[in-house]
Amino acid sequence: MSLNDKVVLITGGTGSFGKKFTEIVLREFSPKKLIVFSRDELKQYEMNQKYSDPSMRYFIGDVRDLDRLKLAFQGVDVVVHAAAMKQVPICEYNPFEAVKTNVFGAQNVIEAAMNCGVQKVLAISTDKAVNPINLYGATKLCAEKLFVQSNSYSGENATRFSCARYGNVVGSRGSVIPVFIQQRELGRITVTDERMTRFWITLEQGVRLVINALDQMHGGEIFVPKIPSMRLIDLAESIASGCEVSTIGIRPGEKLHEVLISRDEARSTVEFDDMFIVQPEFPWWGSHNLSGGKSLPEGFEYSSDNNSHWLSSEDIHRVIKDEQTEI
């Protein structure tokens, strides 16, 4: 879907993803308007100093506020929903707040989009939503289900809702790389478990996935990119070669390995060269026109420890350099 001459709004637009999305959209498209919707006026002010394109608009608002969303969505063609509480310990300590933002906020975005006649809405999700063991993952799983099945409310020819799901993002808030860099100065790196693996994706790759998904979506799909895995111990050793490495044990709410497609989801998933697409199991709102994909084998699971694509030492050093650039 070309974003030329479209009115595009991104919730949580002052976050890491939102800033990269803005950068790429302004560079490669000519949107009629690009609206940043977020709560933080200072971040909006700082973003406005960098992105002063005449198409830019900045709306103060919270996804918990349905009335404000309805005002912001007037005349909007495309919504990218990136607003969320995502820090695992903070969500656990503030569970009601996590539900209000990640679940009720998702419902509000859906209702406002249908009320205002938005054409397409794409929600950003996470590998933590697959087989969740913490509240953050559980809220994002619930949000995914809301976005997929809300297509049944909008009918055959109205607003369409889909999701993009991916793993750890290089350059995002909360990344472990700045922690390792800081620990390097002390000569001692701490890892939770030497066996731990994670999926890795750059901010730019995440934005490209979202733009591609907006083009391909019919409603109800979950778009999952094919991305590499990395062992956390390899990352630690690349950042702080020669430093002492201490294992401190897996933290509460943390997995040893992450999953992007579960075995049960794989039955309704089709594979393409660069991504997987999880198709809706209850598409009451109409047929889908996906073509060219292939079914996955019985028992397939896309997990960070069984991935066929791993980051090399050179790739890891590039990841570190890219993150320092984003920071």
Residue 129: partners with Cβ closer than 8 Å, 6 or more residues away = 137, 140, 141, 143, 144, 165
Rounded CA-CA distance 12/19 in Å is 10
Tokens 């995002």 sit at which residue? 172
The owner of tokens 């430093």 is 243
Selected catalytic residue, list 20, 86, 120, 128: 128
33-38 and 7-11: which strand pairing? parallel
- Asked if residue 13 lies in contact with residue 81, where contact means CB atoms within 8 angstroms, the answer is no
Residue 18: alpha-carbon gap to chain centroid:
11
* Neighbour-count burial of 99, counting CB atoms closer than 10 A to its CB (0-12 exposed, 13-18 middle, 19+ buried): middle
Main-chain phi, psi angles of 215, to 5 degrees = -75, -40
Max CA pair span of the chain = 60
Q: Based on the residue annotation, tell me whether 128 is a catalytic residue of this protein.
A: yes
φ, ψ for residue 7 (rounded to 5)? -95, 115
User: Which residue numbers are catalytic?
Assistant: 128
